[in-house]
Amino acid sequence: MSKYIRITERIAGKLKPKEAYLYYCLALKSDFHTHESDIKQETLANEYGIKDTDQISDWLYHFQSCGLLTIIKTNIKGQYGRFQRCKYQLNTEHYVLISSVLHNEPISRQLKGFLILLKCKCLNGTNTTLYSQAQLANELKIAKSSLSNYLSEAKARGYLCKDEKGIHLLRDDIFLMPNTPQPDFRRRKVKDEAPIALPEVLID
């Protein structure tokens, strides 16, 4: 069974694609209602696909410094002494909905992270962004050459298309697009515009 999870669009411009994918992996392992996770860093590293837990720890603290989550530490007394356990409270302010299907897609972590960041720059309630490539590179703080490579690979693999109206994400099974009227393409998305209220969705 797949599910949609909330990802704050504030990750765009703050996280690199590989970091955005880790944030997504953490969200997958968070409580569906409270958006809190007590996943161990070793387990999170496995979900992400690496063994370096120190790198995972560094990224988690980076997320906290960016205001994307709060790390809650608790002292636990166990059979072999005291130890510290961490919980992670994710920020879901101004969120987009992305399916767990993305986790198993046969593409690199970096491309998955890029697609997540691209979704965060789509017009509210759509899978379309009106930003030019130069504007996207600036918004996401990605080199223009890297952005071009990501877009080319994503297009070749069927994740997006481009036309005179913008860049469009194609996989509605991954990037939820609610049933809303066709957006006015003359208007760009306002940076701090509140998201459309959406129900929490579980999909078989």
pLDDT tens column, 31-72: 989 999 999 999 999 999 999 999 999 999 999 999 999 999
**How do strand 166-169 and strand 36-37 relate by DSSP bridges?**
unpaired
Q: Once rounded to an integer, what is the mean pLDDT over residues 2-18?
A: 95
For residue 169, the model assigns a pLDDT of 97
Is the model more confident about 79 or about 173? 173
Residue 203 confidence (pLDDT): 39
pLDDT for the residue 178:
63
127-184 confidence digits (pLDDT tens): 999 999 999 999 999 999 999 999 999 999 999 999 999 999 999 999 987 654 433 4
Q: Of 11-15, 65-69, 74-78, 160-164, which range is least confident?
A: 74-78
The pLDDT tens digits for 96-133 are: 999 999 999 999 999 999 999 999 999 998 999 999 99
What residue ranges define each of the domains in the chain, with the CATH number in brackets? 2-90 (1.10.10), 95-187+194-203 (1.10.10.10)
User: How far lies 79's CA from each of 40, 42, 75, 83, 178, in Å?
Assistant: 19, 21, 13, 10, 50
Q: Looking at the DSSP assignment, which residues form a beta bridge with residue 87?
A: 72
pTM here is 0.84
Q: Give the pLDDT mean for 18-23.
A: 98
DSSP strand pairing (160-163 vs 166-169): antiparallel
d(CA 152, CA 146): 10
| N residues, the chain | 204
User: Would you call 204 exposed, middle or buried from its count of C-beta atoms within 10 A (0-12, 13-18, 19+)?
Assistant: exposed
Is the per-residue pLDDT at 192 higher than 60? Answer: no
Q: Select the more confidently predicted residue: 22 or 195.
A: 22
Q: What's the mean pLDDT when you consider all of the chain? A: 88
Give the single-character DSSP code of 123. Answer: P
Query: Is the per-residue pLDDT at 186 higher than 90?
Result: no
